[in-house]
Amino acid sequence: MFCRTCGKEIRDEAVICPGCGCRTGSEPGRSSIVHIQKSEFLAVVLSFFIIGAGQCYTRQWIKGILLFVGAMISVLLCLLIIGIIPLLALWLYSMYDAYHEARRINGQE
Same domain, 93 and 44: yes
> Domain count of the chain?
2
**Cβ–Cβ contacts within 10 Å for residue 86, how many?**
16
Mean pLDDT of 49-69: 91
Same domain, 51 and 97: yes
Same domain, 24 and 4: yes
Query: Who's near 30: CB < 8 A, 6+ residues apart?
Result: 23
- Provide the residue range defining the domain that includes 63: 40-105
The count of C-alpha atoms lying within 13 angstroms of the C-alpha of 95, restricted to the half-sphere facing its C-beta, is 11
Same domain, 27 and 80: no
Same domain, 31 and 53: no
pLDDT digits (tens, 9 = 90+) for 97-106: 999 988 888 8
Same domain, 68 and 86: yes
Q: What pTM, to 2 d.p., does this model score?
A: 0.59
